[in-house]
Structure 1
């Protein structure tokens, strides 16, 4: 029986091979759920929910709603015990990957590739994608697009202005680039520096 920890590391290797340039971020809070995995690709974000053989579907309906609010595409990765019934529990546009236990390894079988998530209203999804970024990252997007700094204004205000000023095709790429460059070792210092420079 495969557990979550049995699946994760081999799964990350699988995604590295499948997508090439990809940033993998684990345990990302999204609305009322926590995304097991967020995949950052050059122009899109992909949510990945893992349901191992030890997991139930108890929270899946809520998780599906929350994933759809943030991500361009979504996968559910399931242990073999769930593979025959998972289609009943996720939308038809979600991708499904089966994790199969072999003697010394875990293999993955793509049962269904995901389709673009068009169910979330475009404006709200872009707003939520931008909300994933921290203030220094938003500030960098403002800078590279020649926008005012909007010191003392709220994060929500800045996000709205970015959405008004930056073409969305470009914005998808810029969001991904910020997440590719994100350094969890230095971000607390970067946030402190941003707050200090935006006091006045």
Structure 2
């Protein structure tokens, strides 16, 4: 049997519904095909609650050509990163992904496919708060600065410039927490709330 990207996404949905950190927070958001690092990469699925999780899928039909650049980008954004990979690709990844990345293989028999965890994800030590700040809309970045008493001359700045100002003047952890809470509460974008997770149509 062939296992396609959409099949793996459905399996991931079932997995998400068993993860305590996800289901215990009704404000947990899923974002599909989320642009990161100023548009230089796009993660298959991001999950945002008190932490940020990135899930990258490599099905049988995918190549690993983009994986090195994806590793570089994802390491700047996500607290935890998980690669879900077709079993045929396992022998090819070698040292392409860091040891702190989680790893699942997609195994299959004649009747069904299923996920097998090969490695538990560990906390990413390389998050870059500047690139985190660039996930925010300009108004959200301005609010971050205003909340920290930084008001002079900022309204005319670009989003990129506002990110630099934030990183130079605000504690790293504060910025990271603000980004996560803002993404969770943001309205009018493509995130899917936890209450909608049981609707498989969101993963197609």
TM-score under structure 1 normalisation?
A: 0.76
* Contact residue 12 and residue 24 of structure 1 kept, 8 A: no
Q: Which runs of 5+ in 2 are unaligned?
A: 191-204
Establish whether residue 66 from structure 1 lines up as the match of residue 73 from structure 2. Answer: yes
- 1: CA distance between counterparts of 2:96 and 2:139? 38
More helix by share: 1
Would you say 1:154 and 2:158 are equivalent positions? yes
Which deviates further from its counterpart, 149-158 or 48-57? 149-158
Q: Which residue of 2 aligns with 1:27?
A: 33
Partner residue of 2:123? 116
Superposed, 1:110-189 pairs within 5 Å as: 110-118=117-125, 120=126, 125-148=128-151, 150-184=154-188
Equivalent pairs counted in the alignment come to 181
Q: Distance in 2 between matches of 1:60 and 1:86?
A: 9
Distance 1:77 1:153 in 2: 39
Deviations 1:104-160 (A, max 9, x none): 765332211222333x4x6xx110010011112223323443432722122223222
Contact 2:142–2:155 (CA<8 Å) still a contact in 1?
Answer: no
1:19-60, Cα deviation, whole Å (9 max, x unpaired) = 323321111223432211222131x32222100122121221
Bigger relative contact order (CA 8 A; separation at least 6): 2
SS of equivalent to 1:71: coil
Aligned to 1:17: 18
TM-score, normalised relative to structure 2: 0.75
Segments of 5+ residues of structure 1 without an aligned counterpart are 187-200
Partner of 1:192: none
Give the Cα–Cα distance (whole angstroms) in 1 for the partners of residues 130 and 68 of structure 2.
22
Coordinate RMSD, CA, aligned: 2.6
Counterpart CA distance in 2 for 1:185 and 1:37 is 15
